């Protein structure tokens, strides 16, 4: 078997030989001024903070962007609540910045906030809206601004109009356009409670009743809550679109996604993206959710132990979902608070490697100076790490060019919470945000060293957990399906023989392997979807090789064993060879562990943030 391992000689040891590792970036460092193109057609996007633009100047930051190979620029104007002369002057400054970067050949997006992130402390906002309506969680805490606050909504709509008057052709709304994940799983302010009650034809509903509705079987109250959350968020988006259309209908509004928008917020993400974008563009894009900083902030609601590998699986799931709807995804390579002592620069490069290998995702690197709160600016190591690996990035991209995914197909459709059977009692906001955002089956299999894929109807063996199993097409069951206990019970109620009580089922490490009379094959965990540990550090064991062989009668093309924090991404090239990325997502050494290619083992050790890229024939 021929192998080609491309390598610098630093980080990777395999069978006693030193192989590939490093950090890298990729873009056109020789960019010259010229006609701008759509952000959706760019390969690398970066951001400039408004304070840095003022203090450093457009010329220096432009030079940095060109050196980095960036092809589009986002100009930050978050928490823009100025009025009077201060507002007029700020908008005039923004207009000059937009013209400057467009003249240099860059498409420009004005990046701004909507509902806010947490406690609203901006003095201009508090002066203008002292009686604003915050989002209110089931637990009673409040955060940000509720989408039903008409005065605040109109203020953001006026920002949209004024940014367009200043020359903005694209406006990018930040990931605060959510009502679920900021304070909890939904908003129970007085206005939302009134709307939910009206939807049910009831006199009133309480937060306690809604909390109980998010446990156990599907019920009308949960349905009403999810629908009203979606309704109010779409109303807000419609107001932004209408504001843009008043000035220039050709202006595109894009948004940054957050974890709750795929389910708990009650919206259909592609419909939200299209509503905001308007009719002036056929190249819609959206920034995905899933950032490098999550893994360094253990108390963040979005960090449940999935590690950077689990976040990469989340990105891949989102990308497949959006590409199916002809929407171009940008990633979220954000090292907030943009300090290498908190989020090391090599963590961002590990993330970037996976994005390049996956393909189809515009790289969106927060690597320029950017830190409004401290005015310190982003650590220069982020840009330096990006610049250091330009050639390596191109080689990795070439290795995976036109390659197709292999491995278990992860079946995890969005928008399941409305009809799901939920844990009892109420599991809490952290658990529900976890269950109804990430593709849990993908995270578990990746943590067990298995290759995964997110394209649809691939013909490969499937994995579907919990509520997802209820929507599996019957025609797919002959491919072999990996299920949790609840997913299996759901299929059994549908009349599918999954072998829960079959005497001839084979038990391996807590999984029952069974083939029914129709030839349908299942591997069923003894645990339910919310009992399975899908974390990076202590994942529930999955006998990957045995299950794959049971489903297909063949050896799995590639897998890892004994590796923690190491992520595998593998694809099949047009020439039939395997393109492989083995990526240590941690700063500590991983290994020795084993990589099996068509059943043949090799021992491997990766130093912190080390990686290997190979072509296996």
DSSP result, 570-598: EEE-TTSPEEEEEEE-SSS-EEEEEEEET
**Residue 360 Rama label (left phi>0; alpha psi -120 to 50; beta):** left
Across 102-112, average pLDDT = 98
Q: Distance (Å, rounded) from C-alpha 398 to C-alpha 385? A: 20
Q: Distance (Å, rounded) from C-alpha 615 to C-alpha 508? A: 32
- Hunting for tokens 């009403």 — which residue is that? 224
H/E segment holding residue 46? strand 44-48
Q: According to the model, what pLDDT value does residue 4 have?
A: 37
Residues 281 and 323: beta-carbon distance below 8 Å:
no
**Residue 407 Rama label (left phi>0; alpha psi -120 to 50; beta):** left
pLDDT at 133 over 70: yes
Closest CA to 572 of 356, 401, 345, 447: 401
Which CATH code for domain 1-22+389-404+557-617? 2.60.40
Return the ∠ at Cα 467 (arms to 552 and 430), rounded to 5°: 115
pLDDT at 167 over 50: yes
Cα 478 to its chain centre, rounded Å, is 31
- Side-chain-side CA neighbours of 354 within 13 Å: the count stands at 31
Closest CA to 94 of 75, 113, 118: 75
Burial class (CB in 10 A: 0-12, 13-18, 19+), 236: buried
Cα 426 to its chain centre, rounded Å, is 26
% pLDDT > 90, the chain? 86
pLDDT at 24 over 50: no
H/E segment holding residue 244? helix 220-247
Using 50, 70 and 90 to split pLDDT, how confident is the model at 157?
very high
pLDDT in tens, 234-244: 999 999 999 99
Using 50, 70 and 90 to split pLDDT, how confident is the model at 184?
confident
Closest CA to 563 of 614, 532, 603: 603
Using 50, 70 and 90 to split pLDDT, how confident is the model at 617?
confident
What is each CA distance from 49 to 58, 140, 372, 376, 588, in whole angstroms? 11, 34, 7, 11, 32
Pairing of strands 72-76, 108-112: parallel
Domain range annotation of the chain:
1-22+389-404+557-617, 408-450+452-553
Q: Distance (Å, rounded) from C-alpha 58 to C-alpha 101? A: 8
Q: Distance (Å, rounded) from C-alpha 19 to C-alpha 5? A: 7
The model carries a pTM of 0.94
Q: Distance (Å, rounded) from C-alpha 129 to C-alpha 144? A: 12
Average pLDDT, the chain: 92
pLDDT in tens, 553-608: 999 999 999 999 999 999 999 999 999 999 999 999 999 999 999 999 999 999 99
DSSP E strands in 408-543: the ranges are 408-410, 452-453, 462-464, 481-483, 506-508, 511-515, 521-525
Residue 542: strand, helix, or coil: coil
Q: According to the model, what pLDDT value does residue 55 have?
A: 85
Rg (CA), the chain: 25
Across 119-139, average pLDDT = 95
Q: According to the model, what pLDDT value does residue 225 have?
A: 99
Pairing of strands 44-48, 72-76: parallel
């Amino acid at each position: 078997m021929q192998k080609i391992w491309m390598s610098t000689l630093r980080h990777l040891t395999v069978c006693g030989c030193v192989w590939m590792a490093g950090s890298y970036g990729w873009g056109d460092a020789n960019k010259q001024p010229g006609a701008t193109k759509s952000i959706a057609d760019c390969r690398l996007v970066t951001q400039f903070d408004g304070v840095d633009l003022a203090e450093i100047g457009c010329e220096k930051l432009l030079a940095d962007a060109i050196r980095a190979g960036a092809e589009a620029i986002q100009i930050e104007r978050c928490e823009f609540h100025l009025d009077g002369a201060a507002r007029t002057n700020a908008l005039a400054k923004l207009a000059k910045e937009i013209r400057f970067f467009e003249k240099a050949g860059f498409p420009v997006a004005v990046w701004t906030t909507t509902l806010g992130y947490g406690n609203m402390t901006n003095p201009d906002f508090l002066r203008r809206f002292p009686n604003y309506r915050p989002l209110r969680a089931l637990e009673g805490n409040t955060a940000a601004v509720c989408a039903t606050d008409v005065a605040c909504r109109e203020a953001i709509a006026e920002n949209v109009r004024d940014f367009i008057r200043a020359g903005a052709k694209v406006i990018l709304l930040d990931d605060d356009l959510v009502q679920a994940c900021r304070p909890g799983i939904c908003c129970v302010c007085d206005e939302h409670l009134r709307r939910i009650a009206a939807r049910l034809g009831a006199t009133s509903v309480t937060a306690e009743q809604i909390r109980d509705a998010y446990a156990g079987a599907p019920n009308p109250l949960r349905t009403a809550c999810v629908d009203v959350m979606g309704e109010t968020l779409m109303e807000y988006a419609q107001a932004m679109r209408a504001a843009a259309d008043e000035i220039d209908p050709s202006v595109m509004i894009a948004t940054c996604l957050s974890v709750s928008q795929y389910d708990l917020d009650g919206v259909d993400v592609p419909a939200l993206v299209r509503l905001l974008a308007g009719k002036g563009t056929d190249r819609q894009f959206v920034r995905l959710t899933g950032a490098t900083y999550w893994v360094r902030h253990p108390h963040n609601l979005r960090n449940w132990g999935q590690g950077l590998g689990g976040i990469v699986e989340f990105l891949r799931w989102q990308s497949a979902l959006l590409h199916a709807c002809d929407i171009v995804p940008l990633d979220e390579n954000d090292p907030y608070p943009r300090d290498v002592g908190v989020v090391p620069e090599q963590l961002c490069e590990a993330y970037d490697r996976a994005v390049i290998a996956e393909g189809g995702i515009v790289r969106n690197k927060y690597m320029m100076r950017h830190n409004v709160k401290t005015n310190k600016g982003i650590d220069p190591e982020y840009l330096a790490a990006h610049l250091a690996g330009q050639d390596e990035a191109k080689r990795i991209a070439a290795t995976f060019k036109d390659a197709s995914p292999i491995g278990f197909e992860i079946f995890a459709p969005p928008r399941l919470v409305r009809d799901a059977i939920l844990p009892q009692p109420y599991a809490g906001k952290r658990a529900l945000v976890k269950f109804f955002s990430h593709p849990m089956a993908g995270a578990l299999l990746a943590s067990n060293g298995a290759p995964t894929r997110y394209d649809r109807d691939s013909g490969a063996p499937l994995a579907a957990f919990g509520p997802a199993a209820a929507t599996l097409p019957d025609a797919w069951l002959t491919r072999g399906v990996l299920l949790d206990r609840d997913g299996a019970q759901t299929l059994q109620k549908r009349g599918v023989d999954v072998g829960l009580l079959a005497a001839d089922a084979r038990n391996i490490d807590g999984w029952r392997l069974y083939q029914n009379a129709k030839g349908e094959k299942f591997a069923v965990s003894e645990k339910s979807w919310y009992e399975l540990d899908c974390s990076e550090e202590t994942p529930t064991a999955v006998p990957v090789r045995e299950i794959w062989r049971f489903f297909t009668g063949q050896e799995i093309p590639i897998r890892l064993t004994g590796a923690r924090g190491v992520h595998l991404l593998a694809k099949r090239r047009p020439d039939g060879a395997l393109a492989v990325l083995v990526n240590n997502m941690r700063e500590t050494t991983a290994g020795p562990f084993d990589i099996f290619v068509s059943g043949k083992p090799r021992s491997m050790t990766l130093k912190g943030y080390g990686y290997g890229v190979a072509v296996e024939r």
